[in-house]
């Protein structure tokens, strides 16, 4: 028997992306936190638990020593939906095998990787279950396997699911692991689990493989937030559930009282939080229980932070595809759900400000909560008409004046245990060229004008984290659910945050300038980024400064600059 007090353990986070769970930086998923908590509960001292992301191993090869020398290596990862990532690159199968080969002690693999592994993390692919040369693969909950494996002296475990008491304990005890994340403390957002499983059985989705919905009670989640806050986390996303509106109920009907306890409890223990967002919301819930859903949506919008997104799994507006894949919402039902979320939560903070006597009002912010639409291609029954029906649905939403925070267009990944396993990627591969043309059309005809509606010129985005340089610009994002990509003229210092005002729009990103933009200090690139200010006008502004007031510059632009442009006076001028 191996004594837990003598164990050295290395946890490697290869990142996860599931239909109802996300853990690619700047997100940290529940898996490493719960695994760390299970280790503590089993008797492993905190100082003997080491956590690394896969990107840290890539960037600093010396850390592979921790993989080699650990008595127990725990690998956590798995992508069951395709995506493109800026903050990190998920582990590829060859890298995971290398960990197993490098490990000098016992090796355990867990997370959604148990559902299958493809040649790459991409859409239009098929997968198969593999052990990737690890000693153990957790086919149940990896955190339960971790606890049982340590309890057994590293001899083995029975695949099982953890219970509510265990996850409540492990979530709090494992919160310390966030301090070892490379993004800690300022650029890290913790994914929070309220439930697992789904009441519905869509053909492609791995979430039903967790069974019917099971819920963590509000004190369990609130206690976890309290613990994470103690370790410096200020950004949270309630993202690990199939449907936030069904939280605390029977798995289908809304329970506004549970949502009120959850959100108010989080605000009470983390009053200084900077981000509180969510992810999945099932549109069929809104349609079936409209009044209770409206109440739940109002509760969320009262407590969240601006720019929040409720992902709607429409998947397809084609009734044939809906029927053949057991999709639970029609295009008309989804439209009604979009309408209700816009009505109840599409307001901006300044529209309900209690401040009086302010001439211009506070700066424009993003709406509190908007729907996002998921569209999935390569499903059974897909035909050319499917693409046009999807585009027509999106066009209708725009034409009738509603807002979508983002439109997510993907191709299916096929996993064993789902109905799509028989069809695989065949349809997706057949339609790849059609898919590319359609996606481009949606970006041009829907995404850009919708983005202008959601974030009109002058919208202020606080705390944009600067991430990389490209083509003479600096790109960054806020922390949150599906944050806007912001391009800022010039190459600014990275890994810091600034406030930004939106001045222009691309298909999936915006151009911004620092907020407030000081006319006495602004660069030519920043000035010419503003619509209506060309090179000549910008040159005149630079030559004629300093200015005492913005009005002294006599700017004639397409929109009012007064809310985000300033002139700080002679003492601040260059």
* DSSP structural state of residue 493: P
Q: Hey, is 422 helix, strand or coil?
A: coil
**Secondary structure, 3-state, 283-337:** HHHHHHCHHHHHHHHHHHHHHCCCCEEEEEEEECCCHHHHHHCCCCCCHHHHHHH
Q: Hey, is 180 helix, strand or coil?
A: helix
Out of 424, 454, 484, pick the residue that ends a domain. Answer: 454
Nearby residues of 186 by Cβ (< 8 Å), 6 or more positions away:
465, 497
How many residues appear in the chain? 574
183 falls within a domain: no
124 falls within a domain: yes
Residues 394 and 543 in one domain: no
230 falls within a domain: no
Separation CA 94–CA 58 (nearest Å): 13
Strands 517-518, 509-514: pairing kind: unpaired
- For the chain, helix (H) and strand (E) counts, in that order, are 18, 24
Separation CA 438–CA 428 (nearest Å): 13
- Domain with 78 in it: 1-170
188 falls within a domain: no
Out of 423, 454, 485, pick the residue that ends a domain. Answer: 454
Residues 150 and 13 in one domain: yes
* DSSP structural state of residue 42: T
CATH number of residue 528's parent domain = 1.10.150.320
CATH number of residue 102's parent domain = 3.40.50
Separation CA 264–CA 242 (nearest Å): 21
Q: At what angle do helices 432-442 and 384-399 cross, to 10 degrees?
A: 10
CATH number of residue 300's parent domain = 3.30.750.200
Q: For every one of its 574 residues, what pLDDT tens digit does the chain have, with 9 covering 90 and above?
A: 688 999 999 999 999 988 778 899 999 999 999 999 999 999 999 999 999 999 999 999 999 999 999 999 999 998 876 667 888 999 988 899 999 999 999 999 998 886 654 445 444 444 455 667 899 999 989 999 999 999 999 999 998 999 999 999 999 999 999 999 999 999 999 999 998 877 666 565 666 666 777 889 999 999 999 999 999 999 999 988 888 999 988 878 999 999 999 999 999 999 999 999 998 899 999 999 999 999 999 999 999 999 999 999 888 899 998 888 888 899 999 999 999 999 999 999 988 765 443 344 556 899 999 999 989 888 888 898 999 999 999 999 999 999 999 998 887 765 666 555 666 667 777 788 888 999 999 999 999 999 999 999 889 999 999 999 999 999 999 999 989 999 999 999 999 999 999 999 988 899 999 998 898 999 999 988 887 788 888 888 899 888 888 888 877 666 667 677 888 755 444 4
Q: Hey, is 23 helix, strand or coil?
A: coil
Residues 488 and 472 in one domain: yes
490 falls within a domain: yes
Facing residues of 109 across strands?
75, 137
Separation CA 480–CA 500 (nearest Å): 16
Residues 396 and 535 in one domain: no
Separation CA 237–CA 227 (nearest Å): 15
Residues 320 and 294 in one domain: yes
Q: Which residues of 142-175 are buried (b: 16+ CB within 10 A; e: fewer)?
A: bbbbbbbbbbeebeebeeeebeeebbbbbbbbbb
355 falls within a domain: no
Residues 378 and 504 in one domain: no
Angle formed at CA 280 by CA 440 and CA 122, multiple of 5 degrees? 45
Residues 447 and 493 in one domain: no
Residues 284 and 412 in one domain: yes
H or E stretch covering 35: helix 30-41
* Alpha carbon separation from 33 to 154, 175, 352 (Å, rounded): 20, 6, 38
Residues 513 and 465 in one domain: yes
Number of structural domains found in the chain: 3
The answer to whether residues 354 and 412 touch, using CB atoms and an 8 Å cutoff, is: no
Out of 429, 454, 479, pick the residue that ends a domain. Answer: 454
572 falls within a domain: no
Separation CA 175–CA 492 (nearest Å): 33
H or E stretch covering 16: strand 9-18
Residues 314 and 425 in one domain: yes
Residues 21 and 155 in one domain: yes
| Closest by Cα among 301, 41, 277 to 147 | 41
Separation CA 525–CA 542 (nearest Å): 11
Separation CA 53–CA 238 (nearest Å): 22
Separation CA 186–CA 166 (nearest Å): 29
H or E stretch covering 517: strand 517-518
Residues 507 and 557 in one domain: yes
263 falls within a domain: no
Flag whether the pTM goes above 0.85. yes
């Amino acid at each position: 028997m191996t004594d837990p007090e003598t164990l050295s353990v290395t946890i490697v986070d290869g990142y996860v992306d599931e239909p109802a769970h996300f853990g690619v930086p700047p997100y940290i998923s529940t898996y490493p936190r719960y695994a760390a908590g299970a280790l503590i509960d089993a008797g492993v001292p905190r100082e003997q638990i080491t956590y690394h992301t896969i990107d840290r191993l890539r960037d600093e090869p010396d850390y592979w020593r921790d993989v080699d020398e650990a008595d127990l290596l725990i690998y956590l990862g798995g992508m069951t939906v395709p995506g493109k990532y800026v903050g990190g690159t998920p582990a590829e199968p060859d890298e995971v095998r290398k960990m197993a080969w490098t490990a000098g002690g016992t090796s355990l693999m867990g997370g959604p990787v148990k559902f299958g592994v493809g040649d790459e993390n991409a859409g239009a692919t098929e997968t198969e279950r593999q052990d990737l040369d690890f000693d153990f693969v957790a086919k149940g909950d990896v955190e339960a396997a971790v606890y049982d494996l340590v309890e057994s002296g590293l001899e083995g475990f029975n695949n099982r699911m953890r219970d509510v008491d265990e996850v409540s304990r492990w979530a709090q005890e494992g919160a310390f692991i966030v301090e070892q994340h490379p993004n800690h403390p300022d650029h890290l957002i913790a994914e929070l689990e309220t439930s697992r499983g789904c009441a519905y059985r869509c053909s492609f989705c791995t979430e039903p493989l967790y069974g019917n919905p099971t819920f963590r009670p509000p004190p369990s989640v609130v206690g976890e937030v309290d613990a994470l806050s103690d370790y410096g986390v200020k950004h949270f996303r309630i993202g690990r559930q199939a449907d936030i509106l069904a939280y605390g109920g029977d798995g289908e009907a809304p329970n506004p009282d549970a949502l009120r306890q959850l959100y108010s409890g989080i605000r009470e223990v983390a009053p200084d939080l900077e981000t509180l967002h969510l992810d999945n919301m099932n549109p069929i819930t809104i349609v079936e229980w409209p009044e209770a859903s409206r109440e739940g949506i109002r509760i969320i919008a009262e407590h969240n932070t601006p720019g929040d997104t409720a992902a709607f799994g429409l998947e397809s507006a084609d009734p044939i595809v809906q029927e053949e894949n057991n999709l639970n919402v029609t295009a008309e039902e989804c439209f009604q759900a979009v309408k209700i979320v816009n009505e109840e939560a599409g307001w901006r903070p300044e529209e309900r400000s209690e401040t009086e006597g302010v001439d211009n009002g506070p700066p424009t912010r993003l709406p509190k909560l908007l729907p996002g639409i998921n569209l999935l291609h390569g499903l059974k029954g897909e035909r050319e008409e499917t693409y046009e029906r999807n585009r027509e649905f999106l066009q209708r939403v725009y034409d009738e004046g509603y807002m979508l925070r983002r439109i997510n267009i993907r191709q299916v990944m096929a996993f064993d245990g789902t109905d799509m396993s028989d069809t695989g990627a065949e349809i997706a591969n057949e339609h790849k060229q059609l898919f590319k043309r359609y996606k481009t059309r949606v970006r041009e005809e829907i995404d850009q004008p919708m983005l202008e509606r959601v974030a009109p010129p002058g919208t202020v985005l606080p705390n944009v984290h600067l991430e990389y340089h490209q083509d003479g610009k600096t790109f960054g994002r806020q922390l949150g659910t599906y944050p806007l990509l912001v391009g800022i003229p010039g190459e600014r210092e990275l890994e810091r945050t600034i406030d930004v005002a939106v001045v222009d729009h691309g298909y999936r990103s915006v151009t911004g300038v620092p907020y407030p933009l000081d006319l006495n200090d602004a660069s030519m690139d920043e000035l010419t980024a503003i619509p209506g200010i060309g090179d000549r006008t910008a040159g005149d502004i630079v030559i004629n400064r300093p200015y005492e007031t913005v009005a002294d510059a006599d700017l004639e632009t397409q929109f009012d600059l007064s809310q985000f442009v300033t002139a700080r006076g002679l003492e601040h001028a260059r």
